[in-house]
Amino acid sequence: MGKPTPSAEPTSSLTVRDNRTGRSYNVPIVNNSVSATDFKAITAPPASGDREEDETEKGLRVADKGFLNTAVMRSQITYIDGDAGVLRYRGYPIEELAVHSSHLETAYLLIYGALPSKDQLNTFEYEVIHHGVVHSDAEDFFRSFRYDAHPMAMMTSALAYLGSYYNEANPSLQGQNLFTRGSKESLAVMDRQIYRLIGKATTLAAMAYRVRQGREFVTPPTGMSYTGSFLYQMDHIGEEKYVPNPVLEKALDTLFLLHADHELNASATTVLQTGSSLVDPYSAIAAGCASLYGPLHGGANEAVIRMLISIGSPDNVPAFIEAVKKREKVLSGFGHRVYKTSDPRSFIVRKTADEVFKITGKDELLETAMALHEAAMKDEYFIKRKLAPNVDFCGLIYRAMGFPLDFFPVLFAVPRVVGWLAHWRQMMLQEGGVKIWRPRQQIYVGAGKRAYVPIDERLPVTGLRETPSHIEHSG
C-alpha cells in the first residue's frame, strides 16, 4: 500500500482512491474482510480545517462505534447469518442440537470442536459434575451479601472470588505463557479450570438463590444431570429421595443449550478483551458476567416479563402497539442486533414452553404474549423494521418454573460460561499468540492544547453535564 496501483490488480482486493492526495491504494481481501491496519498507510498532509489531533499524517483511522462491522478475530466456533435466521455451533444447526444433543455434549462441541464419543462425553460429564463442589468458605462469602442483593451481583462477585483459590491457574503467578504455550501440561491446567468453571457455575447460582430465600446451602449431588443437579441444589429442602421433575429438567437443559454461545456478543467480547491481558480465566469470566448483567444484554428476558405485566391483558395490546409506534413505550423481545428475521432459537423456545406448561399450567401472561406476537407480525410498522420475536420470550418458561424475575439473567449467565470459555480457549491457543486488545486510539474531538489557568483567574463553567450534581446527605 501507499504506492500507485498497477494497471491490473488481483480480483481479491479493494482499490481505494484518496481524493485528498489523488493516490490509490490496494487493500487485500481475505475471507471477505480487509485489515484495518492496511488503512494506516493512507496518509495525507493536514488540510485547512484539520486539527492537530486528527493526525492525518499518521494514517487513516477506521471508525466503528459499537462494532457494527468490525471483525476482531478469526473463529471456528459459532456462525450466524442474521438475514437468513441461521445459528450453527461448530457447523451444526441449533435446531438439530436442540433435538438430539444435551447442554454438556454441546459444551464439549463448542470448546473442543467436535461432538464427543460416548467415552469422551462420560469423562467430560464426570469431570464437570465432580468439580461442582465449592470450598466451605463460600457459604460465608454468600452470607456476607445483603438480604436483597441482586443475584447477578452475587454471581459476578463469586466468579471472581473463585480465582483466589487456584494460584496454579493465575498467569501473573505462574508465567504469562501458562495457557498459551499449548503443551500437554498447559492444556491440562486449562481443562481443569474449564471443568471448575462450568461445574461450579450452577453451584454458585444456586447459592445466590438460596441465600435470598434464607435457606441452607445444598452440596451438589452425584448421579444427576447438569440441570438436574442445579434444580436439586435450588429446590431441595429436606425431602427424602427428592428428584426434580424430568420435564422441567429437560426443558432447562434445552434452554441452557440455546444460550451456550452466540458468537462475539457484548459479554463474549468482554471476556476476550479482559482475557487478552492474560489475566486468570476466573477474572475474565467474571468480567463477562458483569457485561451480561446489563439490560441491553442478559437483562432482556426480565424486561420482556415486565413489559407483559405492564400490558396486562390481551385487550390492551392494540393500545400498547400504538404507544410503541409513537415511541412512548419500549418493545422488548422483538428484533435483534444480529437477526433481521426470526431468531431460530425462538421456535425451539415455543415448543419447549408447550412442554413446560403441560406440567406447570399456562402462565397468565402467555395469552398477552401471543396477542402481542400476532399483532406485531401483522403490523407494517414492525414488518418494515424486521422486528421479529427473539429468544428473550423464554422468560415465560422461567416464570412458569417458579424462578424469581431478577434471577433470569443468572439463568442466562450459567450456560453462557460455556461459550465464554470456548472463545477464551480459542484465543489462548490461536496462531501467533495473544495480543492485548488495545484500540489504536479514539477519535479525539476534545479541546486542543491549552495552558493551565490559576484558580483565582478562572471563569466558572456551568451546565447540567459540565458540573457535578448536588447530593443530599441523610443522617
Question: Which residue has cell 447442554?
Answer: 103
CA distances from 73 to 31, 89, 152, 258, 430 (A): 12, 17, 29, 23, 10
User: Which spans in 149-183 are helix H?
Assistant: 151-162, 171-174
- The beta-carbon contacts of 89-95 under 8 Å, at least 24 apart in sequence, are 89/260, 89/261, 90/114, 93/344, 94/258, 94/344, 94/345, 94/348, 95/344, 95/347, 95/348
Q: Which residues are catalytic?
A: 297, 336, 392
Terminus-to-terminus CA distance in the chain, angstroms? 66
Alpha-carbon gap, residue 74 to 76, rounded angstroms: 7
The H-or-E segment that residue 290 falls in is helix 281-292
3-state secondary structure of 331: coil
At residue 321, the 3 state secondary structure works out as helix
Residue 280, classed as helix, strand or coil, is coil
CA-angle at 27, arms to 25 and 29, nearest 5°:
160
Distances (CA, A) of 236 to 32, 209, 216, 220, 415: 53, 12, 10, 11, 21
